[in-house]
């Protein structure tokens, strides 16, 4: 079909432009000299403008209409058309004035959030946040929705996601995980961490450990790189050039190792994309939730397992012979699985993390619906922390002002973090039933079985299906909190001897 | 003037595209993972196609004609118009078929040259070289010329360069430098290099030495980088992001230091461009000859001077305390100034280097005019080496097949290397008359005086003038071999006690 061929050629160019932009961004974060920032911004603006022009060219709309009128076209073509339609609509439904207005407000809002946070004064950010919420509502109206305005915002970050789908996931978590945490806290048990705290952990050895683990997992370093950056991320232009970063703190070695495993998870996903669909939307990695499932799988489900600690102990001892003297795999396992409610999301452990997200989700839902007013937000925040985590922030910087997301207008983003955790647990449960020797394989450092399972059931499926459908295809069940709750319960029981 | 404004806007975009391409190329040479090569080639091809489309857009031709019809427009505008006209004509005068034909031939020709070199058999490369010469002639005819076809090729690499201008430069060199070298060789003197040869020179210390010297010269590392690559070069997108590379050999420390000083010279030139002319052709660094003058200035005229050796000795002793024990600045100076005729251009010393270039220039001139046939080339090569350097290659790989340039169709390029050496000497001579304490400044490591002189008289002048005019403006005389010959004679005399 000529129209489809034409469209694919246009997509090829749009994708190439995106690849170039990815490299510029990576370079900007990792090694660009300081003074180069203003001209790099101009280069990136040109890339973004050029790509936007290509995508919103009326020819794309005409080709789409022509192709959409055809009946059954097979899995690949129908996924490509669905995804281009989605991108085209998102790029064309918002009036140019409104897009500019949002951009200007975003710059201003980041500034007021930064100041509010530094001065620990929510009132400085209050007005800008109120405008952001108004803008998010307007945006939802431009995009359209069936039931709730907030659904249109959720859909931006995870296609097909709605409150109707999310509510049962979060209530499942709330009902099960919150009591679990309270039980752990009640027991008052805390592993001895003196061997971690009392030692210095050299950056060079941390780098060697990260590199060895990433190689063992199966990240292909001839098609990617590991570098250092202030904010760890995984980027790069295409599956042959996947670049992830980490950072090091010589006071403790876990941040860099689990950060590296997290980014390695993202990286193996990118490297496993279906190459016959290069340059096509259907060949891209699926939404944020699925991407996060791959990073959380290796970081938590694998990386913090007893079996992984048993396997990795010899690496720990190789790279930190003195620090690790007398430390056994059980101590290592307990140290990397400390459960402790805290105020800060990004520092949270596996058990408490999703409660941080749930609080943000409930708040966003109410802010968008109008059930919660901006002035009521700080108190609502603190009360929910008290309710679900049993702690209360003493100031706004540690409370409602801690995340950058709202200042950037990213309302509807947070839930994808929890989706990642739930998907990871669900995928591992499914993989286990195909891999009866999974625990033994991890204990021996044979990660290829699990990676190949993910390659086959997740990576190679690109964006052919919507995220929830991909999870159902891979695991046999729609997204659900059950696997995660059961994983967490059994872990907490074996760590602390408590159950909810 | 509206037309000029329009043109500047188009140039701004073309320049931004070029900046992006520079970053992609730098990354490709320095740190791109192996498997990323094919898709990087597609990204670069897109950049190059997009930039070519922008430049050859008929609108550019129309704007040019409109602007060219206006009278006196001042220095900046007239330089911009001259340079865009030149670029536009070069991009549009060659028929598309011919450009493709050349590209295809170039790929094939590099392959046959590589094979010929490996098998030491000129006949494998012979036919492709003959075609390259035919193509170079055809290219010259498309571009047009006043006197000689070869002039059109020279002009491609240094605007305004002709045989009429070059012949006197090379004959000045030939008449003076060749006897000088024979006199040195006749004396049979060779400094004691055992302290260099018998030691190992750690890469880390070489890196520290290079970094310290580049910083001392005045390269701004907050607007640039130093990295490692197989083939040293200086690149990067713009004056705020200048990236040069070097390579290390632990058997000897001079390659990396003088390579670093060479690239630092290129780098300071880029950093010194006139920033009010950002995105404009007039604000770019001038042609290859001027660029090479800046690299050769720091590498040779400064780097191999007695005063620099006196200053840098303490750095050498700091980074190589054991290797440098008992070595004084005179020994260092003699070691970095060994004059010895050899067969290989890239390994040549300051005295013999330009004779290598002169031989190539004479050969190219005759090949293009038809005075020399391809089959006569290998013998002609060997005879000229015998004549001017007193040595003869025992095989083609060390002789006529040593350079990649002809296989790439780059005929007319070589002379810019010698121009760089001559310009460097001429510029330093002029700078000295403004800086009477130059030698003392170098001895104290005060490089800012010389750098500022170059900033003011060369860097900040961008491409406002044609290269030869820039040299005349900066030094008061047109390009000439005199300063170089006098510099070299006095150096050889003080090193070897001989004169021609």
pLDDT in tens, B278-293: 999 999 999 899 999 9
Nearest to B43 among A19, A36, A223 (CB): A19
Q: Residue A398 has what DSSP assignment?
A: T
Contact status of B105 with chain A (Cβ, < 8 Å): no
Torsions phi, psi for A154 (to 5 deg) = -60, -40
Distance from CA of B107 to the nearest CA of A (A): 24
Cβ neighbors of A72 (< 8 A, separation 6 or more) are A78
The residue assigned the tokens 């009946």 is A71
Contact status of A24 with chain B (Cβ, < 8 Å): yes
Helix (H, G, I), strand (E, B) or coil at A163: helix
The H or E element that residue A109 is part of is helix A96-119
Distance of CA B32 to the CA centre of its chain: 25
Q: Distance between the two ends of chain A, CA-based, in angstroms?
A: 59
Indicate the length of chain A as a whole number.
Answer: 500
Identify whether A451 is part of a domain: yes
Is A419 within 8 Å of A154 (Cβ atoms)? no
Nearest to A33 among B34, B42, B223 (CB): B223
CB contact under 8 A, B42 and A16: yes
Distance of CA A483 to the CA centre of its chain: 19
Contact status of B33 with chain A (Cβ, < 8 Å): yes
Mean pLDDT, residues B70-86 taken together? 94
Indicate the length of chain B as a whole number.
Answer: 500
The H or E element that residue A379 is part of is helix A377-389
Contact status of A325 with chain B (Cβ, < 8 Å): no
Query: Which of these three, B58, B77, B92, is where a domain ends?
Result: B92
Q: Which one is predicted more confidently, B437 or B181?
A: B437
Is A247 within 8 Å of A283 (Cβ atoms)? no
Q: Is the C-alpha dihedral spanning B283, B287, B293, B295 positive or negative?
A: positive
Distance of CA A131 to the CA centre of its chain: 26
CB contact under 8 A, B33 and A222: yes
Contact status of B138 with chain A (Cβ, < 8 Å): no
CB contact under 8 A, A39 and B237: yes
Averages of pLDDT over each 10 residues, chain A, 500 residues: 95 97 95 95 93 95 95 92 96 91 90 94 97 97 97 96 97 92 87 95 98 98 96 95 96 96 98 98 96 97 98 98 97 95 92 95 97 97 93 92 93 97 98 98 98 98 98 98 96 87
Residues A265 and A394 in one domain: yes
Please count the residue pairs, one from chain A and one from chain B, whose beta carbons lie less than 8 angstroms apart: 89
Residues A287 and A429 in one domain: yes
d(CA B296, CA B280): 26
Identify whether B410 is part of a domain: yes
Is B333 within 8 Å of B313 (Cβ atoms)? no
Q: Distance between the two ends of chain B, CA-based, in angstroms?
A: 59
Taking CB atoms and an 8 Å cutoff, what residues of chain B touch A32? Answer: 241
CB contact under 8 A, A33 and B222: yes
CB contact under 8 A, B36 and A221: no
Taking CB atoms and an 8 Å cutoff, what residues of chain B touch A47? Answer: 20
Taking CA–CA distances from B15, the nearest residue in chain A reads: A43
pLDDT, residue B499, reads 77
With CA atoms as reference, report the closest residue to B368 among B151, B94, B170: B151
Taking CB atoms and an 8 Å cutoff, what residues of chain B touch A240? Answer: 33, 35-36, 38-39
d(CA A187, CA B214): 61
d(CA A498, CA A483): 19
Taking CA–CA distances from A45, the nearest residue in chain B reads: B16
Query: Which of these three, A41, A66, A92, is where a domain ends?
Result: A92
Q: Is B308 exposed, middle or buried (0-12, 13-18, 19+ CB in 10 A)?
A: buried
Taking CB atoms and an 8 Å cutoff, what residues of chain B touch A33? Answer: 221-225, 240-241
pLDDT, residue B186, reads 87
Torsions phi, psi for A352 (to 5 deg) = -85, -20
Residues B79 and B196 in one domain: no
Nearest to B43 among A20, A31, A46 (CB): A20
Helix (H, G, I), strand (E, B) or coil at A444: coil
Residues A81 and A164 in one domain: no
Residues B86 and B223 in one domain: no
Residues B87 and B165 in one domain: no
Identify whether B131 is part of a domain: no
Helix (H, G, I), strand (E, B) or coil at A304: coil
d(CA B232, CA B249): 13
Taking CA–CA distances from B227, the nearest residue in chain A reads: A31
CB contact under 8 A, B47 and A20: yes
Q: What is the per-residue burial (b if ≥16 Cβ within 10 Å, else e) of A69-94?
A: eeeeeeebbbbbbbbbbebbeeeeeb
Taking CB atoms and an 8 Å cutoff, what residues of chain B touch A40? Answer: 237, 241
Distance of CA A158 to the CA centre of its chain: 11
Residue A205: count of CB within 10 angstroms of its CB: 18
Distance from CA of B475 to the nearest CA of A (A): 32
Distance from CA of B208 to the nearest CA of A (A): 19
Mean pLDDT, residues B436-448 taken together? 98
Residues B384 and B490 in one domain: yes
Confidence grade of residue B56 (pLDDT, cut at 50, 70, 90): very high
Confidence grade of residue B437 (pLDDT, cut at 50, 70, 90): very high
Q: What number is the ipTM of this complex?
A: 0.93
Identify whether B86 is part of a domain: yes
Identify whether B132 is part of a domain: no
Mean pLDDT, residues B156-174 taken together? 95
Contact status of B5 with chain A (Cβ, < 8 Å): no
The single residue of B75, B86, B215, B263 carrying the catalytic annotation is B263
Q: What is the mean pLDDT of chain B?
A: 95
CATH number of the domain that residue B411 is part of: 1.10.1370.30
Taking the whole predicted model, whether its pTM rises above 0.80 is answered as: yes
Please identify every residue of A annotated as catalytic: 263
**CB contact residues (below 8 A), chain A span 234-273, against chain B:** 237-238, 240-241
Distance from CA of B47 to the nearest CA of A (A): 9
Distance from CA of B23 to the nearest CA of A (A): 8
Taking CB atoms and an 8 Å cutoff, what residues of chain A touch B225? Answer: 31, 33
Domain count, chain B: 2
Residues B30 and B179 in one domain: no
* Bridge pairing between strands B224-228 and A241-246: unpaired
Cβ neighbors of B79 (< 8 A, separation 6 or more) are B281, B282, B462, B463, B464, B465
Mean pLDDT, residues B63-81 taken together? 93
Is B150 within 8 Å of B364 (Cβ atoms)? yes
Mean pLDDT, residues B221-242 taken together? 96
Q: What is the mean pLDDT of chain A?
A: 95
With CA atoms as reference, report the closest residue to A274 among A487, A453, A455, A32: A455
d(CA B493, CA B184): 9
Taking CB atoms and an 8 Å cutoff, what residues of chain B touch A220? Answer: 35
With CA atoms as reference, report the closest residue to B384 among B119, B178, B186: B178
Torsions phi, psi for A283 (to 5 deg) = -90, -5
* Bridge pairing between strands B241-246 and B234-238: antiparallel
Taking CB atoms and an 8 Å cutoff, what residues of chain B touch A27? Answer: 23, 27
Identify whether B112 is part of a domain: no
Taking CB atoms and an 8 Å cutoff, what residues of chain A touch B222? Answer: 33-35
With CA atoms as reference, report the closest residue to A26 among A320, A232, A265, A280: A232
Q: Rounded to the nearest 10 degrees, what angle do helices B58-68 and B2-30 cross at?
A: 130
In DSSP terms, B245 is beta-bridged to B227
Residues B77 and B188 in one domain: no
Contact status of B29 with chain A (Cβ, < 8 Å): no
Residues B358 and B495 in one domain: yes
Query: Which of these three, A77, A92, A107, is where a domain ends?
Result: A92
In DSSP terms, B43 is beta-bridged to none
Token representation of residue A472: 């159902």
**CB contact residues (below 8 A), chain B span 193-212, against chain A:** none
Q: Which one is predicted more confidently, B130 or B189?
A: B130
Percent of chain A with pLDDT over 90: 91
pLDDT at residue B453 greater than cutoff 90: yes
The H or E element that residue A259 is part of is helix A254-271
pLDDT, residue A414, reads 97
pLDDT at residue B500 greater than cutoff 70: no
CB contact under 8 A, B224 and A33: yes
pLDDT at residue B175 greater than cutoff 80: yes
Q: Please give, one letter per residue, the 3-state secondary structure of chain B.
A: CHHHHHHHHHHHHHHHHHHHHHHHHHHHHHCCCHHHHHHHHHHHHHHHHHHHHHHHCHHHHHHHHHHHCCCCCCHHHHHHHHHHHHHHHHHHCCCHHHHHHHHHHHHHHHHHHHHHHHCCCHHHHHHHHHHHHHHHHHHHHHHCCCCCHHHHHHHHHCCCCCHHHHHHHHHHHHHHHHHHHHHHHHHCCCCCCHHHHCCCCCHHHHHHHHHHHHHHHCCCHHHEEEEECCCCCEEEEECCEEEEEECCCCCCCHHHHHHHHHHHHHHHHHHCCCHHHCCCHHHCCCCHHHHHHHHHHHHHHHCCCHHHHHHHHHHHHHHCCCCCCCCCHHHHHHHCCCCCCCCCHHHCCHHHHHHHHHHHHHHHHHHHHCCCCHHHHHHHHHHHHHHHHCCCCCCCCCCCCCCCHHHHCCCCCCHHHHHHHHHHHHHHHHHHHHCCCHHHHHHCCCCHHHHHHHHHHCHHHCCCCCHHHHHHHHHCCCCCCHHHHHHHHHHHHHHHCCCC
Distance from CA of A63 to the nearest CA of B (A): 23
d(CA B7, CA B263): 33
Distance from CA of A279 to the nearest CA of B (A): 11
Weakest-pLDDT range from A360-364, B44-48, B311-315: B44-48
Residues B167 and B69 in one domain: no
Chain A interface disruption, residue of B16, B34, B36, B242, most A CBs within 10 A: B36
pLDDT, residue A55, reads 95
Identify whether A122 is part of a domain: no
Identify whether A130 is part of a domain: no
pLDDT, one tens digit per residue, over A242-289 is 999 999 999 999 999 999 999 999 999 999 999 999 999 999 999 899
d(CA B315, CA A130): 60
The residue assigned the tokens 């109120």 is A130
pLDDT, residue A255, reads 94
Residues B46 and B169 in one domain: no
Give the range of the structural domain holding residue A308, as residue numbers without chain letter.
Answer: 160-500
Q: Residue A411 has what DSSP assignment?
A: T
């Amino acid at each position: 079909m000529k129209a489809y061929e034409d469209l694919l050629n246009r997509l090829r160019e749009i994708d190439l432009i995106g690849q170039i932009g990815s490299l510029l961004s990576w370079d900007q974060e990792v090694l660009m000299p300081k003074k180069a920032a203003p001209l790099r911004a101009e280069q990136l603006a040109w890339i973004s403008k050029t790509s936007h022009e290509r995508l919103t060219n009326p020819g794309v709309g005409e080709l789409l209409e022509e192709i959409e009128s055809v009946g059954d076209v097979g899995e690949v073509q129908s996924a490509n058309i669905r995804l281009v339609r989605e991108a085209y609509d998102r790029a064309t439904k918002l009036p140019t004035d409104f897009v500019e207005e949002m951009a200007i407000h975003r710059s201003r809002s980041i500034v007021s959030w930064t100041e509010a946070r530094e001065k620990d004064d929510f009132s400085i950010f209050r007005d800008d946040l109120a405008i952001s919420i108004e803008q998010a509502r307007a945006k939802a109206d431009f995009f359209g929705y069936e039931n709730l305005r907030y659904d249109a915002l959720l859909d931006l970050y995870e296609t097909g996601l709605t409150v109707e789908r999310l509510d049962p996931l979060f209530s499942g978590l709330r009902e099960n995980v919150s009591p679990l945490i309270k039980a752990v806290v009640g027991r008052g048990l805390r592993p001895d961490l003196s061997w971690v705290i009392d030692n210095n952990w050299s950056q060079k050895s941390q780098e060697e450990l990260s590199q060895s683990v990433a190689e063992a997992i199966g990240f292909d370093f001839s098609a990617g790189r590991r570098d250092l950056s202030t904010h760890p991320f995984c980027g790069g232009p295409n599956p042959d050039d996947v670049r992830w970063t980490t950072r090091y703190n010589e006071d403790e070695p876990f941040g860099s190792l689990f950060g590296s495993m997290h980014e390695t998870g993202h990286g193996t996903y990118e490297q496993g994309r279906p190459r016959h669909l290069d340059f096509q939307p259907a060949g891209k990695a699926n939404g944020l939730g699925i991407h996060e499932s791959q990073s959380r799988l290796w970081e938590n489900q694998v990386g913090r397992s007893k079996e992984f600690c048993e396997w990795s102990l010899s690496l720990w001892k190789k790279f930190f012979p003195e620090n690790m003297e007398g430390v056994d795999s059980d101590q290592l396992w307990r140290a990397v699985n400390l459960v402790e409610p805290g105020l800060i999301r990004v520092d949270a452990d596996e058990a408490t993390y999703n409660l941080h997200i749930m609080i943000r989700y409930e708040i966003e839902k109410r802010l968008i619906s109008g059930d919660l007013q901006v002035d009521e937000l700080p108190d609502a925040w603190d009360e929910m922390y008290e309710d679900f985590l049993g702690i209360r922030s003493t100031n706004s910087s540690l409370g409602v002002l801690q995340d950058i997301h709202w200042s950037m207008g990213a309302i509807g983003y947070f839930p994808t973090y929890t989706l990642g955790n739930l998907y990871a647990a669900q995928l591992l449960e499914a993989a286990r039933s195909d891999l009866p020797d999974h625990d033994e394989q991890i204990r021996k450092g044979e990660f290829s079985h699990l990676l190949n399972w993910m390659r086959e059931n997740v990576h190679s499926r690109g964006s052919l299906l919507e995220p929830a459908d991909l999870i159902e295809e891979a695991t046999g069940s729609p997204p659900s909190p059950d696997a995660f709750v059961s994983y967490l319960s059994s872990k907490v029981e074996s760590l602390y001897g408590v159950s909810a």
